[in-house]
Amino acid sequence: MTAYRELETRFRRVNALGEAAGVLSWDMSVMMPPGGAEARAEQLAALKVTAHALMTDPQIGELLDRARGEDGHDAWRQANLREMRRAWLHANAVPSDLVEALSKACSTCEMVWRKARPASNYALVLPSFKEVLTLIRRKAEAKAAALGLSPYDALLDQYEPGGRSARIDEMFDALAEFLPVFLKQALEAQARRHEPLPLPGPFPADKQRALGRRLMQAIGFDFTHGRLDESAHPFTGGVPDDVRITTRYDEADFTRGLMGVLHETGHALYERGLPPAWRLQPVGEARGMVLHESQSLLMEMQACRSRAFVDYAAPLMREAFGGSGPAWDPRNIHRLYTRVVPDLIRVDADEVTYPAHVILRYRLEKAMIAGELEPDDLPGAWNDGMKALLGIVPPDDRQGCLQDIHWYDGAWGYFPTYTLGALAAAQLFAAATRADGDIVPGIRRGDFGPLLTWLKPHVHGRASLMTTDELMAEATGEPLSDKAFRAHLEARYLDGDG
């Protein structure tokens, strides 16, 4: 067996363990009774430590060196070796006792957060949160030393390979300067239009669920390879051949749960579209969270908040909830869908104000990793940041620093990928619609085939063959920038073409 083939075998085993841990994590968030938390923490820790031991076997480094000298590697194998080495470097940077301690601490903290959030009791989760942050800082320092990066960039690199905070700072500072001016313009343009009529509820959760499933199928979700459930925070889990997505329902406003469903469906379609020939290999995985978030936001914001989609979906909405009258007119529903209102909750935010939510979290998590902000001071810093960026202050921590699960379950360095994903989504959707004039008419008739036909070879099927910038340049003609995003906002919120 060649060194390369031996590496494929080893990485297939490691990634299968990772997939098993992913399904267990999904179950913990969706199905597991509270009494199973301690046992589940042990199970997840055991899987992660076992996978870490396989990854840190000294023979992996030797095999990587030998495989590099072997002949006959095509572009996919060369990229697979590159991604194997990257994963090996990350794994070897962190000692196994820290992997185990962090896994247990995050599982415990997440379960406490599930109680603290609805109770708006930050003090309840604070001790667990402090332990998680202490361990995350240790992890960041270990990775920084091994990778030659800053502690924050070492964490960011886990979620966006090659992502660097210096570039993000530049892009986010420009957005932070642009958005307040644009928000004022969008609100003024909105005020000149007729006030949209509210949709009369209530909207029973079972009917919301049925509508969500119907639209998921129209978009292309395959229920023989996935399922829809409920959780405290919408997310996509599982594995490419068994994708698990979740949302949460508000019986006073069905659009919140529906937008969550459509967002997560974008993630799911990306996972399902990854090349089957490279399953369980590093090169066959999603490139990073910027592209992953681009796919969810492309579906939710670019496609499914368009006037074309509302023209298709409005009759289905009326049918689902027995609606009648002018409030259910597609034009009115589209105005509701694209209404700009500074909101306290990130996942419910409109796309004009959404980047401010991400910029706030990015700045706060960088400060916490650097030791410039401690958990005791997070609620006050959060509220100050919301006031500065959006002019609103949360009345309680449930709507403030407790609203997102990410920090409490150990996902540090993740947040900037949301807004970077929004920029990529606008850029990719603009390129797709330039390339195929039937994409928007297809969305209007509920046919997402033309859009998926473009996405599969340009994004989904590329997996980790190339870097994010290389993929963006090949698919759109230029590296990632905010140009298409700004043009999209101006067209939808100032020109009103939807």
Task: Say how far apart CA 221 and CA 298 lie, in whole Å.
Answer: 15
Give the pLDDT band (50/70/90) at residue 347.
confident
Could you list the beta-strand ranges (E) of 235-305: 236-239, 242-247
- The arithmetic mean of pLDDT across residues 285-312, rounded, is 97
The model's pLDDT over 39-67, given as tens digits with 9 standing for 90+, comes to 999 999 999 999 999 999 999 999 999 99
Digit-coded pLDDT (tens) for 358-381: 999 999 999 999 999 999 999 999
Write down the pTM of the prediction.
0.93
SS3 state of residue 343: coil
Nearest-10 Cα torsion for 352, 237, 51, 85:
-40
CB 318 within 8 A of CB 324: yes
Distance from C-alpha of 421 to C-alpha of 468, rounded to nearest angstrom: 11
Out of 264, 271, 285, 300, the active site residue is 264
264 carries an active-site annotation: yes
**Mean pLDDT, residues 183-195:** 93
List helix spans (H) across 274-350.
Answer: 289-297, 307-321, 330-337
Q: Which residues of 149-186 are buried (b: 16+ CB within 10 A; e: fewer)?
A: bbbbbbbbbbbbbebebeebeebbeebbeebbebbeeb
Query: For residue 246, what are its two tokens?
Result: 């979740």
**Mean pLDDT for the chain?**
95
- Is 498 a residue whose pLDDT tops 60? no
Q: Which pLDDT value is given to residue 496?
A: 66
User: Residue 459: pLDDT above 90?
Assistant: yes
pLDDT tens-digit map of 389-439: 999 999 999 999 999 999 999 999 999 999 999 999 999 999 999 999 999
Residue 351 banded pLDDT, cuts 50, 70, 90? very high
Position 233 scores a pLDDT of 80
Contact criterion met (CB below 8 Å) for 3 and 67: yes
For residue 19 the two structure tokens come to: 């997939």
CA 429/CA 443 separation, integer angstroms:
12
**What pLDDT does residue 232 have?**
83
Q: In Å, how far are 43, 125, 126, 186, 409 from 36, measured between CA atoms?
A: 11, 19, 22, 48, 17
Q: Please report the pLDDT score of residue 1 as a whole number.
A: 76
Closest CA to 331 of 310, 345, 351: 310
User: What was the pLDDT predicted at 348?
Assistant: 85
Report how far residue 255's alpha carbon sits from residue 314's, in angstroms, rounded to the nearest whole number: 12
Among the listed residues 248, 284, 286, the one whose alpha carbon sits nearest the alpha carbon of residue 267: 286
* Integer Cα distance of 428 and 422 in angstroms: 10
What is the C-alpha to C-alpha distance for residues 163 and 175, in angstroms, rounded to an integer? 18
The answer, yes or no, to whether residue 262 has pLDDT greater than 60, is yes
Contact by Cβ (8 Å): 420, 160:
yes
Return the pLDDT at 194.
86
Residue 141, Cβ density class (10 Å: 0-12 exposed, 13-18 middle, ≥19 buried): middle
Q: Of all helices (H) and strands (E), which one includes residue 143?
A: helix 122-147
Reported as type and span, the H/E element at residue 383 is: helix 378-390
Residue 497 has pLDDT above 90, yes or no: no
pLDDT, mean of residues 85-101: 94
CA-CA distance, 212 to 221, in Å (whole number)? 11
State how far the Cα of 60 lies from the Cα of 4, in Å rounded to an integer.
10
Q: What is the DSSP string of 99-140?
A: HHHHHHHHHHHHHHHHHHHHHT-HHHHHHHHHHHHHHHHHHH
